[in-house]
Structure 1
Amino acid sequence: MKILVIWRLLTVGGVNAGWRNRAIYFKKQGITTDFLYTKDLGGMHMMEDVAQVFLTKDKDKIHQIIQENQYDAIIVVDTSQAYTWLKETNYKGPIIIEARTPEITKLKQNLQGKEKVNPEKFIVPSDYQKRVLSILLDQSKPIEVIHNSTDTLFFRPLDLEEVNRSNEPKVPEGKKIVAYIGRLDHRKNWRLFLKIAEMVSKERRDIEFWVIGGDRSVDKDLFEEEWKKKQLTDVVKWFPVIPYHQMPTIYAKIKHSGGCTIATTRAESFGNTFIESMACGVPVIAPDISSIPEIVVNGETGYLYRENYIRGAAEHIYRIVDQPHKYEKLSNSARERVEKWFSLSQCANKYIETLKDVTKGEGE
């Protein structure tokens, strides 16, 4: 079987992390996955070594890609232009729409024109996202929940001797690391993160915050300005570019410091960094909103705080770093939850069954 995934943004975020994992697994099952993007936001290094990647805005080239490759199925991820391309090329194969955007107004925009292609099925990564999408669809179209997954052989707890501690970022002696991982934009709510770090810095001297990523983010300059204005550069260390393959080492440094990851997002349809962190045995602190309670179990794999509640988030940080006797239990439970619900084999196999269903077994 040969499939094409169309998404406009080639990022280092969760959508591409999830699809990278799937493409590797699919290949072992005899399924070739090609990717078509229109804009590179720093994610090429994630994808180019695992699949054929097309990066173009040229409509004629896009038409050629669709027409010449004879795909058994095409998956469109939050890209409304794709419906026009598929209509113009008269593509006759099955089309799946992945609806990933958690904000309903943006999701509605991303679905504009979907009637041009008559999709076979909609796929979402969480029950929360299924509820959001259901508001915009008539009930005749099936919506299937297939969780994002991660490779638990790659994202795993590393022993201290497996970690190169001389490489940046370095863990200062006696510091616990609390890490914000991902984009710097309105939805990820980095301003709330800086407020949490500011509060903690006034109360503690044994906690250092890391920001991992953000080099190509829309709010990069705004973040840098606010970070300096709040005089947090000694407390919050920023590492704008960390290659994807180095992330298990980052998580290991956080874990061995006795720290955690933290999210301040306003909404998530899933959240790959949560399962990557948990797979590496690192507890997660996140707001109790949208899909997050489906992933992070409060008190078992991390802690959930009330949305925008700075004091609540800070108290959860202290709860983790001040109770080392409970840390290992949180860590082990986090790893076990990922292995049970979000393993690559389990989630990717479900996707393969869906592909076989919509293609009626063609391409096997």
Structure 2
Amino acid sequence: MKVLVIWRLLTVGGVNAGWRNRAIHFKKQGITTEFLYCKDLGGMHMMKDIAPVYLTTDKQMIHEILTKNDYDAIIVVDTSDAYNWLVKANYKGPIIIEARTPEIMKLKRNLAGYHQIQPQKFIVPSQHQKRVLSILVNEPTPIEVIYNGLDTSFFRPLKPEEIHAQKEPIASSDKKVVAYIGRLDVRKNWRLLLKIAELVKKEREDIEFWVIGGDKSVERQQFEDAWKKKNLTDIVKWYPRVPYQEMPHIYAKIKQSGGCTIATTKAESFGNTFIEAMACGVPVVAPCVSSIPEIVIDGKTGYLFREEHVRGAAEQIYRIVDYQEQYEKLSKSARERVEQMFSISHCANRYIEILQEVTRKGEGR
């Protein structure tokens, strides 16, 4: 089987991390995955060694990709232009739409024009996202929930001798690391992170924050200006560009320090960094919004706080870094939850079943 995934943005975020993992697993099962992106926002290093990647906005080139590669199925991820491309290419094979955008108005824009291609299925990464999509899609096309999967042999607790200890970032021996991982934009809500860091700075001297990512983010400059203006450069260390392949070592350093990850997001359809951290035995602190309570179990794999609540977020961080015995329980439970719920074999095999189902139906038409 040969499938094409179309998404407009080649980012280092969760959508591409999820597809990277799927493509590796699919290949082992005899399925070739190719990718078509319109814009590279720093994610090419994640995908280029995994599968063929087309990066273009040229309509003639896109038409040739769609007509000459004989795809058994095409998966469109939040890209409304793709529906016109498929119609013009007269593509007759099965089409799956992945609806990943958590904001309902943006999702509505991303779905504009999808009726003309008659998708066989919608796929979403959480029960929360299924509820969001159900508001916009009132028709018999089934909506299937498939969580993002993770290679738990790659994302795992590392032994001390395995950790890239001499590579940046290097943890201070007397600090607990609290890491924010991801883009710097309105939805990921870095402004709340800086408010939390301001409060922690007033109260503690044994915690430092790492910001991992943001090199190509739309609000990179705004973040940098605020970070410096608030005099937080001593407690908040920023590493704009960390290769995806290095992330298990980042999580290992966080765990070694007795720290955690922190999310301040306003909405998530899934959240790959949560399962990455948990797979590496790192507890997660995150707001109790959208899909997050499906992933992070409060009190078992981390702690949740009320949205936009600075004091609540700080207190949950303290609960993790101050209680070492409880830390080990959280760490163990986090790893076990990922193995049970989010392993790539479990999640990707369900995707393969759906691909086989829709291609069989396509053959029967």
Assess if the C-alpha contact under 8 Å between 2:94 and 2:362 holds in 1.
Answer: no
Q: Deviations over 1:8-36 (max 9, x none)?
A: 00000000000000000000000000000
Matches within 5 A, 1:111-130: 111-130=111-130
Query: 2 CA distance for matches of 1:152 and 1:361?
Result: 33
Residue 285 of structure 2 aligns to a residue whose secondary structure is: strand
Opposite residue 289 of structure 1, the aligned amino acid is: V
Shift of residue 346, structure 1, vs aligned partner: 0.1
Amino acid at match of 2:157: P
Counterparts of 1:120 and 1:42, CA distance in 2: 32
Deviation at 1:166, TM superposition (A): 1.6
Amino acid at match of 1:119: P
Could you tell me whether the CA contact under 8 Å between 1:303 and 1:316 is conserved in 2?
yes
Identity %: 71
Q: Distance in 1 between matches of 2:202 and 2:150?
A: 37
Please say if residues 173 and 257 of structure 2, whose CA atoms lie closer than 8 Å, have aligned partners that are also in contact.
Answer: no
- Asked if 1:133 is matched to 2:125, the reply is no
> TM-score of the superposition, structure 2-length normalised?
0.99
Which stretch shows the higher mean deviation, 200-209 or 164-173? Answer: 164-173
Distance 1:158 1:130 in 2: 35
* Structure 1: segments with no counterpart, 5+ residues: none
Give 1:239's aligned residue. Answer: 239
CA distance, structure 2, for counterparts of residue 139 and residue 65 of structure 1:
30
Amino acid at match of 2:224: E
CA distance in 2 between counterparts of 1:53 and 1:46 reads: 11
CA distance in 1, matches of 2:61, 2:272: 31
Contact 2:126/2:147, CA 8 A, preserved across alignment: yes
In the TM superposition, structure 1's runs of 4+ consecutive aligned residues that sit over 6 Å from their partners are none
- Residues 356 and 362, structure 1, Cα contact 8 Å, conserved in 2: no
Give the match's secondary structure for 2:131. Answer: helix
Aligned with 2:209: secondary structure?
A: strand
Partner Cα distance (1:354, 1:6) in 2: 18
- What is the aligned partner in structure 2 of residue 10 from structure 1? 10
C-alpha distance in structure 2 between counterparts of 1:270 and 1:229, whole Å: 33
Q: In 1, are the aligned partners of 2:93 and 2:362 still within 8 Å (CA)? A: no
2:79 equivalent in structure 1: 79
Residue 344 of structure 2 is matched in structure 1 by 344
Number of residues paired by the alignment?
Answer: 363
Q: Which residue identity does 2:248 align to in structure 1?
A: P
Q: How does 1:1-364 map to 2 (within 5 A)?
A: 1-360=1-360
Change (3 A) 1:97 1:362: closer
CA drift at 1:173:
1.6
Deviations 1:159-205 (A, max 9, x none): 11111212110111210000000000000000000000110011000
| CA drift at 1:58 | 0.1
RMSD: 0.9
TM-fit CA distance, 1:362:
7.8
Q: Is the 8 A contact 2:7 2:37 kept in 1?
A: yes
Given residue 86 of structure 1, which amino acid in structure 2 is its aligned partner? L
Checking the alignment, whether the CA contact within 8 Å between 1:212 and 1:240 is kept in structure 2 is yes
Q: Which TM-score applies when normalising by structure 1?
A: 0.99
* Distance in 1 of aligned mates of 2:123 and 2:248: 28
Cα distance between partner residues in 2 of 1:202 and 1:114: 51
Partners of 2:210 and 2:201 lie apart in 1 by 13
Deviation string 1:111-138 (CA, Å, 9 cap, x unpaired) is: 0000110101000000000000000011
Contact kept, 8 Å, 2:74 with 2:95, in 1: the verdict is yes
Please give the per-residue CA displacement for 1:216-243, whole angstroms capped at 9, x wherever unaligned: 0000000000000000001000000000
SS at match of 1:131: helix
Aligned residue type for 1:178: V
Q: Distance in 2 between matches of 1:35 and 1:141?
A: 24
Distance, in Å, in 1 between the alignment partners of 2:184 and 2:359 is 39
Aligned mates of 2:238, 2:134 — CA distance in 1: 39
In 2, Cα distance between equivalents of 1:221 and 1:153 = 36
Q: CA deviation at 1:361?
A: 7.6
* Cα distance in 2 for residues equivalent to 1:236 and 1:357: 49
- 1:63/1:5 Cα in 2 relative to 1: closer, same or farther (>3 Å)? same
Unmatched 5+ stretches in structure 2? none
Paired with 2:171 and 2:273, the residues of 1 have a C-alpha distance of 20
Q: For 1:43 and 1:318, locate their aligned partners in 2 and report how far apart those are by CA, in whole Å.
A: 34
Q: Which amino acid aligns with 2:70?
A: Q
Q: Deviations over 1:90-118 (max 9, x none)?
A: 00000000000000000000000001101
Bigger Cα displacement from structure 2, 134-143 vs 214-223? 134-143
Preserved CA contact (<8 Å) 1:97 1:123? yes
* Structure 1 CA distance for aligned equivalents of residues 174 and 165 of structure 2: 14
Q: Distance in 2 between matches of 1:253 and 1:19?
A: 26
